[in-house]
Structure 1
Amino acid sequence: MARNRPDLDRSVPVLLVKIGRYPQSHSAVGVVRSFGRAGVPVHAMVEDRLTPTAVSRHLTGAVVARTTGCEPEERLLEAVRGAARRVGRRCLPVTTDDEAAVLLAEHADEFRGQLLLPPVPAALPRRLADKGELPALCAAAGVPTLRATAPDGREQLLETARSLGYPLVLKNLAPFSRLSRPAVGHSTVVRDERALLAACPDGTAGSVLAQEYLPDEHAEDWFTHLCCGPGGEPLVLFTGLKLRAWPPGGGVTTRARALPNPELAALAERFCRSVGYCGIADLDWRLDRRTGRYHLVDFNPRTGAQFRLFETAGGVDVVRALHLSLTGRPVPSGPQRARSFAVGQLDAMSVVSGLRHERRLPRDVRPRRGTERAWLSLDDPAPAVAETARFAVTEALRLVRAVRRGG
């Protein structure tokens, strides 16, 4: 449809840049589909040629680049340079992880001839992605956040827990360290000291953040996805409500709804202007219903996993807005479309978990009209098939490991 194809410069290709191994990435598939449907050539760094991203019919070229994020920096830079050379002309990079965003920002001058990058201050993405730095940045911007500390060892971790109280949220602290020495597998809620020491037996100095917890019965999870021009001016800004996640309480979003929220949009804009952010970002917020205050809990300086939930009535999402802006074309304004987002098997697992623990079906089990599906698409079915196969293998291996542990 015409509304889904804004006037992008098709002579400027896109390169999806990834660091680390996460082949089942629906954000990467979303980037490929968004540009491919608009007629823009899109290439992607992939783990192998059978990932869901690699088999998309909208992908122009796959570049196999196996990285873990633990390699020396020069090796990671060469992987990106090699991928850019494969594209063959200057291209616009889109990142789907914090490490890639940090690497490109800090080495922007070296990539100037190969990549078309937003003029973000070189050190800013690393600071924003570091959860220990975020409270100070929020305080300077006058934006609420939750109390949090990055403890230095076991004793400080226990002291922090006593200060903040239980339950407590544990998060991996910073880009790169979350891959080289992860403290937790994902954001984890611990409810007492025993659970805390089981999750972090040595205190994981320098790699974990301990954050205040807002009880689920008094909270809502919101996010803002945006693309900013120089100085933090939003080119597009979207707001939405998270309905479910997997694992529950701290995992990836599996069901969400786009909802206009002017108060939250104003907070996001204030923060981005304060720090001078430029580019695509995904901000996570937690609303305390008791006070009516939104707290910024994460700033991801890259494309968010559920970014395809959001699109203007004219077909502009955050990645298309970035392309329009950096190729010198106007970014059309317009209201965000009302729609939902669902992530296949993971959402089904979240529903089953909710049914088991709450003895009732969660809200929005049935897909609404206009739901954007992370995997299933009539015009691009292969990624859903590839994801189903990988999901089955992953779950089978997990079951085998559980049986062996039980034995």
Structure 2
Amino acid sequence: MARRVARDVPGLIVKFGDYPLHHGGVGAIRSLGRLGVPMYAITEDRYTPAAVSRYLRRAFVWPTTGTEAPERLVEGLLRIGRRIGCPTVLVPTDEEAAVLIAEHQGVLGADGRFLFPRVAAGLPRCLASKQGLHELCSEHGIPSPATVFPRSYDDIAAFAETARFPLVAKNREAFLRRSRPAVHGTTRVATREGLLRLARGWGERPGVILQEYLPREEAEDWIVHAYFDAESAPLAMFTGVKVRSWPPHAGMTANAYVVDNPELADLAARFVKQIGFSGVVDLDLRFDRRDGQYKLLDFNPRMGAQFRLFESESGVDVVRAMHLDLTGRAVPEGEQRVGRRYVVENIDLPALLAYRRSGYTTPHAPARASGTELAWFARDDLRPFFTMLVRLVRPGVRHLFQLWRMWRIGRRADRSTG
């Protein structure tokens, strides 16, 4: 595997916004860096876990919010490209970065300065939009939860009269989640009164969608990570099941296993082929036991934070597959390593406590892991782990407590209306 990689073509982790404790970026730095690929990253400061990795050649300190004018972000990327001084593979870690690269690919790809999968310019924005994704699913026959898109408070009030609760509220657009978020992530709403109370703070044009709630007692969370070439053919395809997430049942993966699921892989490959996407994808689906359907919740047109869960027998993950393909090398074939487990140390413990109380089970999870990949701890790269611990102590613990408190409020609301 190492001999196949173009070691003279570096990679750049592209991230916009303030989220220094991002294990996905660290995973990408290690994944390519271990093969000898020179790695660079955009970081909030010089003391993020990514910035101190032994596999990072240089951190470009560039604090951003994700709400800057696109022209400013493009110019910043071009400036970094000039400093690197050679063609560089871009590895976006958030929707804002993926959308920006797609919508300015002519400028960013000029003279071969940056290498990235070419897609229809508006497609990543559409996929990152909850409304855009739902409309694509409807068009191509992909199951997804029933969803409405209110345009005013009056729309919400009218919907609330006949709605079935609980339901889920999400921010409609990826970019607006940073500049004008209506909700802080996926929010479970238990009652009509609770919905109307939230809606009063959303203004005249609420930037939310209201979605059918798939009860966790009747559902199971699955993930698909894959890399698709310029013809939308899968060069790497992986499927797995979430055991825990944080916040519970609605946040990022805290614990997951690799599980073969040909039906899910076929669904993902068919959808990507129909829409003509190229690049890395991270899909979240929920299996609804009531009707036997896998319902697509999120289509992230970029690398997922937990991508290192998945690796083939030939040593390929989605980031390595992208680097190989964009540098003109063949991606080695190989089956996924079934039974492999992924654990995010800083969020799995609170998730474990919450899930024990909820009684949720994951029938498809293996009884025993064939191997475990930790998000932060690595014997050959210890500094990111200890830097994470230091930065977690105050703001990180406070953030985890706030998420837990929101979850507890939702649970109490459920019991009061049950």
Q: TM-score range by the shorter chain?
A: over 0.9
Q: Does 213-222 or 154-163 show the bigger shift? A: 154-163
Supply the AA of the counterpart residue of 1:371. Answer: T
- Tell me which residue corresponds to 1:385: 386
Query: Do the aligned partners of 1:150 and 1:206 also contact (CA within 8 Å) in 2?
Result: no
SS at match of 2:130: coil
What is the TM-score of this pair, normalised by structure 2? Answer: 0.90
- Tell me which residue corresponds to 2:31: 34
**Residues in 2 aligned to 1:223 and 1:395: alpha-carbon distance in whole angstroms:** 26
Query: Do the aligned partners of 1:6 and 1:316 also contact (CA within 8 Å) in 2?
Result: no
Structure-2 change in CA distance of 1:55 and 1:90 (3 Å): same
List aligned pairs for 1:277-288, cutoff 5 A.
277-288=277-288
- Tell me which residue corresponds to 2:255: 255
- Tell me which residue corresponds to 2:269: 269
What's the CA shift for 1:86?
2.2
Query: Do the aligned partners of 2:216 and 2:360 also contact (CA within 8 Å) in 1?
Result: no
RMSD, aligned CA:
2.4
**Residues in 2 aligned to 1:400 and 1:160: alpha-carbon distance in whole angstroms:** 32
Query: Do the aligned partners of 2:169 and 2:211 also contact (CA within 8 Å) in 1?
Result: yes
**Residues in 2 aligned to 1:280 and 1:365: alpha-carbon distance in whole angstroms:** 26
1:182 lines up with 2:184 in the alignment: no
List aligned pairs for 1:215-230, cutoff 5 A.
215-230=215-230
SS at match of 1:245: strand
Query: Do the aligned partners of 1:45 and 1:83 also contact (CA within 8 Å) in 2?
Result: no
**Residues in 2 aligned to 1:173 and 1:135: alpha-carbon distance in whole angstroms:** 11
Supply the AA of the counterpart residue of 1:303. Answer: M
Structure-2 change in CA distance of 1:35 and 1:253 (3 Å): same
| Paired residue total | 399
Structure-2 change in CA distance of 1:231 and 1:200 (3 Å): farther
What's the CA shift for 1:164?
4.3
What's the CA shift string for 1:105-136, capped at 9, x where partnerless? 00001011320121211111001111101122
- Tell me which residue corresponds to 2:240: 240
What's the CA shift for 1:307?
0.5
Query: Do the aligned partners of 2:153 and 2:206 also contact (CA within 8 Å) in 1?
Result: no
What's the CA shift for 1:157?
2.2
What's the CA shift string for 1:225-260, capped at 9, x where partnerless? 011112321111111101111111211110011111
Query: Do the aligned partners of 2:311 and 2:337 also contact (CA within 8 Å) in 1?
Result: yes
Structure-2 change in CA distance of 1:243 and 1:87 (3 Å): same
Supply the AA of the counterpart residue of 1:7. Answer: R
What's the CA shift string for 1:202-237, capped at 9, x where partnerless? 345342111111111110111110111123211111
Query: Do the aligned partners of 1:19 and 1:97 also contact (CA within 8 Å) in 2?
Result: yes
What's the CA shift string for 1:260-281, capped at 9, x where partnerless? 1000000000100000000111
- Tell me which residue corresponds to 1:43: 40
What's the CA shift for 1:400?
11
**Residues in 1 aligned to 2:28 and 2:152: alpha-carbon distance in whole angstroms:** 39
SS at match of 1:31: helix
SS at match of 2:297: strand
What is the TM-score of this pair, normalised by structure 1? Answer: 0.92
List aligned pairs for 1:51-90, cutoff 5 A.
51-90=48-87
SS at match of 1:32: helix
**Residues in 2 aligned to 1:233 and 1:89: alpha-carbon distance in whole angstroms:** 28
What's the CA shift for 1:148?
1.0
Query: Do the aligned partners of 2:25 and 2:93 also contact (CA within 8 Å) in 1?
Result: yes
Unaligned runs of 5+ in 1: 403-407
List aligned pairs for 1:143-222, cutoff 5 A.
143-204=142-203, 205-222=205-222
What's the CA shift string for 1:25-55, capped at 9, x where partnerless? 0110011010101111110000001001001
Q: Percent identity?
A: 45
What's the CA shift for 1:359?
11
**Residues in 1 aligned to 2:142 and 2:322: alpha-carbon distance in whole angstroms:** 25
SS at match of 1:321: helix
Q: Does 232-241 or 388-397 show the bigger shift? A: 388-397
What's the CA shift string for 1:140-166, capped at 9, x where partnerless? 222111111221122212333445411
1:110 lines up with 2:107 in the alignment: yes
What's the CA shift for 1:364?
8.1
**Residues in 2 aligned to 1:393 and 1:266: alpha-carbon distance in whole angstroms:** 44
List aligned pairs for 1:124-143, cutoff 5 A.
124-143=123-142
Query: Do the aligned partners of 2:257 and 2:365 also contact (CA within 8 Å) in 1?
Result: no
Q: Does 393-402 or 188-197 show the bigger shift? A: 393-402
**Residues in 1 aligned to 2:397 and 2:259: alpha-carbon distance in whole angstroms:** 37
- Tell me which residue corresponds to 1:300: 300
Structure-2 change in CA distance of 1:359 and 1:300 (3 Å): closer
Unaligned runs of 5+ in 2: 404-418
What's the CA shift for 1:366?
10
Q: Does 208-217 or 189-198 show the bigger shift? A: 189-198
**Residues in 1 aligned to 2:360 and 2:127: alpha-carbon distance in whole angstroms:** 39
What's the CA shift for 1:83?
2.1
Query: Do the aligned partners of 1:232 and 1:276 also contact (CA within 8 Å) in 2?
Result: yes
Structure-2 change in CA distance of 1:234 and 1:384 (3 Å): same
What's the CA shift string for 1:346-404, capped at 9, x where partnerless? 100111223345499x99899845111111111111111011111112146569999xx
Supply the AA of the counterpart residue of 1:330. Answer: A
Structure-2 change in CA distance of 1:138 and 1:72 (3 Å): same
Query: Do the aligned partners of 2:166 and 2:189 also contact (CA within 8 Å) in 1?
Result: yes
